């Protein structure tokens, strides 16, 4: 089937969720789904949450609820629904038949947002692959659903490219993308091994989405990375070398925000963008201290870090957005899982110097302090210290060069 250009109508959607346990986080999850829909450019016109013990295997929600949704769609003039969990191909098909409208789910929505935010070649390939796999499994139901509006959520590929719908084309495209991905990964490995040789320390900013990681990255680097109120503004890790204090240099890397209920095959697809987290020496956990969901979000972050097997790394937690708090709310922010807690604001700059200092101190703790006198014919060793360690002082004396420095363990024995 050929996709032609359509003018994009603003979709009017109803959110549909299932609460399996009373008092669980379904409501918060559906609220977040609404934000995701907004990020994807749709208008949320209503919401339906069904309490039932199990998700209906055939239609996601029960028969009675379907009737209720159908009625609501009509009343609110909605163009589609978005379910808060990933629908099976059968559920998508059945709902589509029952409701005769565009049926979407959380995964389709997240993929759509990812598609528009992916920046790097690798990010784009990963997103397109995930989209095509999702699509290939649901071609029948999804095909009807997507042709209904001609465009909108679910039809956008990386770089606003329209997606093709034909099964055979999908297969060819997938195998092509896989080859390209291998190539990109090989290249990245190369760069990474070079980076390891120079012993540069890597500090990664992690945290829930929209907490201000990119804002802090910007403040620390002066770099122009995308900072956006929309969810998932950062899809690819961005890495910059910065001087953290004195002659101490680090690679600072910004990462994509974590989120609850990120579908598992997506976690896999995007692990590569989070690999920076796995090879980091220090994690800076950014928290939105103005959010009522702060604790829950921190929990999701630590769970995700455990999934990534990065939960043993030293953490500095920054309680960001302090500027949004009233004076009496600014008290005792402390994360007991972290080496250090800092209250700050990327916007006012509060706490940023403290953060630099904390990173610097932690890195120093991982290095060994030396005070030595080198004869002039050993000057080459000082060059090595300068390159791999942190030279604090060098004094040219009659009897040689006096050096104070922090050196990494790897060269401690040889200098």
Ligand X SMILES: Nc1nc2c(ncn2[C@@H]2O[C@H](COP(=O)(O)OP(=O)(O)OP(=O)(O)O)[C@@H](O)[C@H]2O)c(=O)[nH]1
Residues of this chain that interact with Mg ion (CB under 5 A) are 213-214, 233-234
State yes or no: residue 210 binds ligand X (CB under 6 A): yes
Nearer to Mg ion, 234 or 248 (CB): 234
Q: In angstroms, rounded to a whole number, what is the distance separating the alpha carbons of residues 140 and 91?
A: 12
Are 222 and 238 in contact by the 8 Å Cβ rule? The answer is no
The residue sitting closest to ligand X, measured at its beta carbon, is: 257
Are 206 and 285 in contact by the 8 Å Cβ rule? The answer is yes
State yes or no: residue 209 binds ligand X (CB under 6 A): yes
Q: In angstroms, rounded to a whole number, what is the distance separating the alpha carbons of residues 257 and 233?
A: 8
CB of 205 to ligand X, least distance (A): 8
Residue 184 interaction partner, one of ligand X, Mg ion, none, beta carbon < 5-8 Å per kind: none
State yes or no: residue 68 binds ligand X (CB under 6 A): no
- CB-count burial class (<10 Å; 0-12, 13-18, 19+) for 397: exposed
Nearer to ligand X, 145 or 237 (CB): 237
* Number of Cβ atoms within 10 Å of the Cβ of 312: 8
Nearer to ligand X, 232 or 406 (CB): 232
Nearer to Mg ion, 248 or 273 (CB): 273
From 36, 95, 215, 269, residue interacting with ligand X (rule: CB under 6 A): 215
CB of 346 to ligand X, least distance (A): 4
State yes or no: residue 248 binds ligand X (CB under 6 A): no
Question: What number of CA atoms fall less than 13 Å from residue 235's CA on the CB side?
Answer: 24
- Edge-to-edge order in the sheet of strand 201-207: 238-245, 248-254, 201-207, 282-288, 315-320, 340-343
CB of 224 to ligand X, least distance (A): 12
Residue 99 interaction partner, one of Mg ion, ligand X, none, beta carbon < 5-8 Å per kind: none
Nearer to ligand X, 141 or 257 (CB): 257
State yes or no: residue 213 binds ligand X (CB under 6 A): yes
CB of 128 to Mg ion, least distance (A): 21
- Nearest 10 degrees: Cα torsion 259, 264, 270, 271: 100
State yes or no: residue 234 binds ligand X (CB under 6 A): yes
Q: In angstroms, rounded to a whole number, what is the distance separating the alpha carbons of residues 1 and 334?
A: 56
Q: In angstroms, rounded to a whole number, what is the distance separating the alpha carbons of residues 318 and 278?
A: 20
**Distances in Å between the alpha carbon of 399 and those of 378, 381, 384, 396?**
12, 16, 20, 8
CB of 350 to ligand X, least distance (A): 8
The residue count for binding ligand X (CB under 6 A) is 24
State yes or no: residue 249 binds ligand X (CB under 6 A): no
Q: In angstroms, rounded to a whole number, what is the distance separating the alpha carbons of residues 359 and 339?
A: 10
Phi, psi dihedral angles at 46 (to 5 degrees):
-170, 170
From 152, 157, 158, 212, residue interacting with ligand X (rule: CB under 6 A): 212
State yes or no: residue 211 binds ligand X (CB under 6 A): yes
Share of the chain residues as helix, strand and coil, in percent rounded to the nearest 5: 45, 20, 30
From 214, 253, 273, 317, residue interacting with ligand X (rule: CB under 6 A): 214
State yes or no: residue 240 binds ligand X (CB under 6 A): no
From 134, 232, 270, 333, residue interacting with ligand X (rule: CB under 6 A): 232
Site string for ligand X, 299-338 (x = CB under 6 A): ---------------------xx-xx--------------
Site string for ligand X, 188-207 (x = CB under 6 A): -------------------x
SS3 212: coil
Nearer to ligand X, 169 or 324 (CB): 324
Q: In angstroms, rounded to a whole number, what is the distance separating the alpha carbons of residues 161 and 139?
A: 18
Number of H helices, E strands in the chain: 13, 13
Residue 149 interaction partner, one of Mg ion, ligand X, none, beta carbon < 5-8 Å per kind: none
Nearer to ligand X, 229 or 292 (CB): 229
Site string for ligand X, 336-355 (x = CB under 6 A): ---------xxx--------
State yes or no: residue 29 binds ligand X (CB under 6 A): no
Q: In angstroms, rounded to a whole number, what is the distance separating the alpha carbons of residues 221 and 205?
A: 12
SS3 251: strand
Binding site for ligand X (CB under 6 A): 207, 209-215, 227-229, 231-234, 256-257, 320-321, 323-324, 345-347
């Amino acid at each position: 089937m050929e996709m032609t250009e359509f003018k994009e109508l603003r979709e009017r959607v109803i959110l549909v969720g299932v609460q399996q346990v009373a008092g669980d986080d379904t409501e918060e999850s559906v609220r977040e789904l609404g934000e995701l829909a907004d990020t994807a450019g749709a208008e949320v016109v209503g919401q339906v949450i069904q309490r039932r013990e199990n998700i209906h295997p055939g239609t996601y929600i029960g028969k009675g609820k379907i009737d209720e949704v159908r009625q609501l769609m009509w009343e609110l003039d909605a163009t589609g629904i978005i379910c808060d969990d990933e629908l099976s191909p059968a559920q998508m098909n059945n709902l589509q038949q029952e409701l005769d409208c565009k049926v979407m789910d959380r995964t389709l929505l997240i993929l759509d947002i990812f598609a528009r935010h992916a920046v790097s070649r690798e990010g784009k390939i990963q997103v397109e692959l995930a989209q095509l796999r999702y699509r290939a499994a649901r071609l029948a139901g999804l095909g009807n659903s997507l042709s209904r509006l001609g465009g909108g959520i679910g039809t956008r590929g990386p770089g606003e490219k329209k997606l093709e719908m034909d099964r055979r084309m999908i297969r060819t495209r997938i195998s092509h993308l896989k080859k390209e991905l291998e190539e990109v990964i090989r290249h990245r490995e190369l760069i990474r091994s070079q980076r390891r040789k120079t012993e540069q320390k890597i500090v990664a900013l992690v945290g829930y989405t929209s907490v201000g990681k990119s804002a802090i990255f910007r403040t620390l680097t002066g770099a122009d990375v995308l900072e956006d109120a929309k969810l998932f503004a950062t899809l690819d890790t961005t890495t910059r070398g910065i001087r953290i204090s004195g002659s101490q240099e680090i690679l600072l890397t910004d990462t994509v925000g974590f989120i609850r209920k990120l579908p598992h095959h997506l976690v896999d697809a995007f692990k590569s963008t989070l690999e920076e987290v796995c090879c980091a020496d220090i994690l800076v956990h950014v928290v939105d201290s103005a959010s009522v969901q702060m604790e829950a979000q921190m929990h999701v972050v630590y769970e995700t870090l455990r999934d990534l097997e990065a939960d043993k790394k030293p953490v500095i937690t920054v309680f960001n957005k302090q500027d949004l708090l009233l004076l009496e709310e600014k008290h005792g922010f402390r994360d007991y899982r972290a080496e250090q807690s800092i209250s700050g604001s990327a916007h006012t700059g509060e706490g940023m110097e403290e953060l630099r200092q904390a990173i610097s101190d932690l890195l120093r703790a991982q290095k060994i302090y030396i005070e030595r006198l080198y004869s002039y014919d050993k000057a080459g060793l000082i060059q090595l210290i300068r390159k791999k360690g942190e030279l604090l002082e060098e004094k040219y004396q009659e009897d040689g060069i006096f050096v104070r420095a922090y050196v990494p363990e790897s060269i401690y024995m040889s200098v």
